[in-house]
Amino acid sequence: MRFLRVNMTDLKVQDEPVPERYRDIGGRGLTSILVNEEVPADCDPLGPDNKLVFAPGFFTGTQLVNTSRLSVGGKSPLTGGIKESNVGGTVAYALAKLGIAAVVVEGKVAKPESCYQLIIDQDGGAQLQECSRFRGMRTYALVEELRKIHGEKKSITCIGPAGEMQLLAASIQSTDLDGRPCRAAGRGGLGAVMGAKGLKALVVDRGGRNTIELADPETFKAAAKSYAQAVKADEFSGKTLPELGTAALVEPINAAGAFPTCNARSGQFAGAEKISGESLAAMIKERGGQTTHKGCAQCIIDCSNVVVDKKGGYITSSLEYETIWSMGGMIGNDDLDAIARLDFLCDDIGLDTMSTGVAIGIAMDAGYRQFGDGAAAIALVEEVASGSEIGRVIGNGPDAVGRHFNHGRVPTVKGQSIAAYDPRALQGMAVTYATTPMGGDHTAGWVVAQNIEAFGGTVNPHEAEGQVELSRGAQIHMAAVDSVGICDFAQSGLATPEGLENVRKMYSARTGKPFAADSWPELGERVLRAERDFNRKAGFTAKDDHLPSMFYTEPLPPYNVVVKVTDEEMENTFQF
């Protein structure tokens, strides 16, 4: 395995053996540790000293299912801290099969108006090609053009106009198995970093034949098979997700009063049934779309979908829970067609759907538009692509909208919006949002199941007791999961008694080194230590591990609860 060092200042690409200290780690662990070591924490995130790192998970390219996850890391222009954003699709597997452990993009182009594409061929050779003629193109048109030029068997990772304009909510889009740029590394504005560097796209050949070296192939194969069987046997990953996708969460989260609605003024949305997983699946089937769809390489869950209009024409893929919330409940919109269109537009323009939906919700809360007006939301997203004043405000995320309208109800942490779980109704998520180095990120420590009785929850979701411990453990665990590259939804393979043992066996079978019971949390802690160290150097203090005052002072209907975890408890979540 090797690194590709891409210097955008000199326009040179160099191969480099993976340094010894990175050989037993991948994904988020690799991106975060490398960024902490090589990026000055006080640098301008959009300047030449920042680095953008693309790293497949440590298990990506092996026989283990559902490991085609790519970590994208750098200093976030949205939060000012370290960032890892995770994406599926085909690019991680393609890179791993070419023997590439990371692509490290450094420097920035001398001429801001120029842009380049990085071409990685079937033999793993790489070169930068000037492509300024593609500047301004949206991602779907860009991918179509690049596939005509380079062939269809390519994985394309790219930015749209939002990234080129260096807007702080800009995403990095990647193609799925159908060649559509509908998978997003959305959070943290890393699309703006890619745009600032002058990199429009990575075009990666999917025909690589590199075999991931395993110290003990037979043990790895047996453990991987057992893990896959557990994923298929689990009710949620084996049945619910293929039938309803992640939208299956709409009804139970709404029932728990934890579905942030109309800029988090309520925890329940009256129109939830209209945008539920059941309603979405029924609409897709009626119109001839796909409910059970494979969006990522190596996937055995098939939780993706393809949404079509009444005439059977493509709208978007994949419409997921977080987007249904941000473009639905958060803005009071119960029109699935409008939500699907908003999802497509964000993918096409290159915008994080969560940050964008919350930004629109704040604008509506400030009276700029009316809650529930899906057409107005669509028009606002189109404004982003046009580069208008209000478009740039929306494209720069929720904090920018709050400042623009002098509106104080802004549900962000470290500059990044919360996700589809109100922290007042699920106190464990309050801890995760506040204390993760990533900003208001749900995937950093998802403790929803432990807080909801219907999911087997063991704690009172409205009380502080036990929540810090739950979140701390989940954050350590997820840092390890993101490093090996296992998909969130395949964590069902870890739920069985032998699940973590299988992962330990695979880690040891790959490296040839012991990987004991305590090695898993040690891996997660190693990653979090690097991230927290970077943030400290960037100027973050314990005071940044707090939530906005609205969550402590405004009781959330219908259960009229506020966050009860104290600031002191938040600040003491981690002792490293």
Tokens at 78, concatenated:
């949205």
Q: What single letter denotes the amino acid at residue 530? A: A
pLDDT of residue 11: 97
pLDDT of residue 253: 98
Q: How confident is the model at residue 495 (pLDDT cuts 50, 70, 90)?
A: confident
Helix (H) or strand (E) holding 70: strand 70-75
Q: What single letter denotes the amino acid at residue 319? A: L
Give domain status of residue 117, yes or no.
Answer: yes
Residue 249 CB-density burial (10 A; 0-12 exposed, 13-18 middle, 19+ buried): buried
Residues 6+ apart with CB under 8 A from 448: 253, 258, 421, 426, 428, 429, 455
List pLDDT tens digits, range 168-213: 999 999 999 999 999 999 999 999 999 999 999 999 999 999 999 9
φ/ψ of residue 176, rounded to 5: -90, -170
How high does pLDDT run on average in the chain? 97
pLDDT over 90 percentage in the chain: 98
Q: Residue 318: is the preceding peptide bond cis (ω within 30°)?
A: yes
C-alpha to C-alpha distance for 163 and 349, rounded to whole angstroms: 8
C-alpha to C-alpha distance for 483 and 58, rounded to whole angstroms: 6
Tokens at 258, concatenated:
């934890």
Give domain status of residue 167, yes or no.
Answer: yes
Give domain status of residue 474, yes or no.
Answer: no
Give domain status of residue 73, yes or no.
Answer: yes
Helix (H) or strand (E) holding 363: helix 353-365
pLDDT of residue 454: 87
| DSSP H helical ranges for 4-104 | 27-38, 91-97
pLDDT of residue 437: 98
Q: Which of 351, 392, 391 is nearest to 171 (CA)?
A: 351
Direct distance between the N- and C-terminal alpha carbons of the chain, in angstroms, rounded to an integer:
31
Say if CB 247 and CB 253 are below 8 A apart: no
pLDDT of residue 204: 98
pTM exceeding 0.85? yes
- Domain of 24, in residue numbers: 2-205
Q: How confident is the model at residue 432 (pLDDT cuts 50, 70, 90)?
A: very high
C-alpha to C-alpha distance for 458 and 307, rounded to whole angstroms: 36
φ/ψ of residue 318, rounded to 5: -105, 135
Provide the CATH number for the domain around residue 46.
Answer: 3.60.9.10
Half-sphere exposure of residue 287, counting CA atoms within 13 Å on the CB side?
21
DSSP secondary structure string, 374-398?
A: HHHHHHHHHHHHHT-HHHHHHHT-H
Give domain status of residue 480, yes or no.
Answer: no
Q: Which residue has the tokens 């999802």?
A: 343
Q: In total, how many domains does the chain have?
A: 1
Please compute the mean of the pLDDT values over residues 310-338 and round it to a whole number: 98
Please compute the mean of the pLDDT values over residues 218-224 and round it to a whole number: 98
Give domain status of residue 105, yes or no.
Answer: yes
pLDDT of residue 497: 82
Tokens at 538, concatenated:
């960037």
Give domain status of residue 135, yes or no.
Answer: yes
Please compute the mean of the pLDDT values over residues 392-397 and round it to a whole number: 98
pLDDT of residue 488: 95
pLDDT of residue 496: 83
Tokens at 298, concatenated:
């190596």
Which segments of 393-523 are extended strands (E)? 412-413, 416-417
Please compute the mean of the pLDDT values over residues 78-94 and round it to a whole number: 98
Q: How confident is the model at residue 514 (pLDDT cuts 50, 70, 90)?
A: very high
Give domain status of residue 300, yes or no.
Answer: no
Residue 504 CB-density burial (10 A; 0-12 exposed, 13-18 middle, 19+ buried): middle
List pLDDT tens digits, range 225-273: 999 999 999 999 999 999 999 999 999 999 999 999 999 999 999 999 9
